[in-house]
Homo-oligomer: A and B are copies of this chain.
């Protein structure tokens, strides 16, 4: 009975989209927030369940383990980033601008600051859970970015050795802003993740990129590059 199998599967999918996936999403939301704040080991499944409003074993109706839940959180959170990078990789080198990725990532992280903190937790603990995911994208991205900068038609005011450090620095400026925001708010009283702060930071990063990638010696002849 091959047909009944097929329809059964179809039915399951339909139903899941009704209620099952709804709570699965709620679980992912809660888990994302908790993992982002307390890290993997610091987050308990009881906390996740409590945040969702269900009992702990019910989580296992949607995810087969804590590890699988964490992976799902990471997968869902990083999907927009992956798509952005894929798009970038497919694009013609001529169409790429210095800040196309930069601003794209700023947008993504602005909408979901927890992602930034998740990634930071990962890289801090050695990124062993990112192996299959981020590592596969980050490494080529990093290398191609370096190539791109080095082989840029416009002369870059940095040596080839410095380019990886420059990319690393830019990465930290961007992602660090989001990871530090809650701490900054508690310390300084100002919420950097509010609309105003985000706009300020976006403009700041844009200006930073401009200033770091344009040789100051060439500034007199062409002031408005981008």
Query: What is the interface of chain A, defined by CB distance below 8 A to chain B?
Result: 37-42, 117, 120-121, 123-127, 135, 138-139, 142, 157, 161-162, 164-166, 168-169, 171-173, 175-177, 179-180, 182-184, 186-188, 200-201, 204, 207-208, 211-212, 216-217, 219-220
Contacts and interface: CB of A to CB of B under 8 A. Distances in A.
Contacts of A188: 139, 142, 164
B208 A211 contact: no
Contacts of A179: 123-124
A39 B164 CA distance: 27
A182 B126 contact: yes
B208 A169 contact: yes
Copies in the complex: 2
A186 B135 CA distance: 10
A216 B219 CA distance: 8
Nearest to A122: B183
15 contacts: A37-B126, A39-B39, A40-B42, A120-B124, A123-B179, A165-B201, A169-B176, A169-B177, A169-B204, A171-B176, A172-B172, A172-B177, A172-B180, A211-B211, A216-B216
A169 B173 contact: yes
A164 B180 CA distance: 12
Nearest to A39: B39
Contacts of A182: 126
Given A165-B201, A219-B219, 11 more contacts: A38-B41, A39-B124, A40-B42, A123-B180, A127-B183, A138-B187, A142-B188, A165-B200, A172-B177, A176-B176, A216-B219
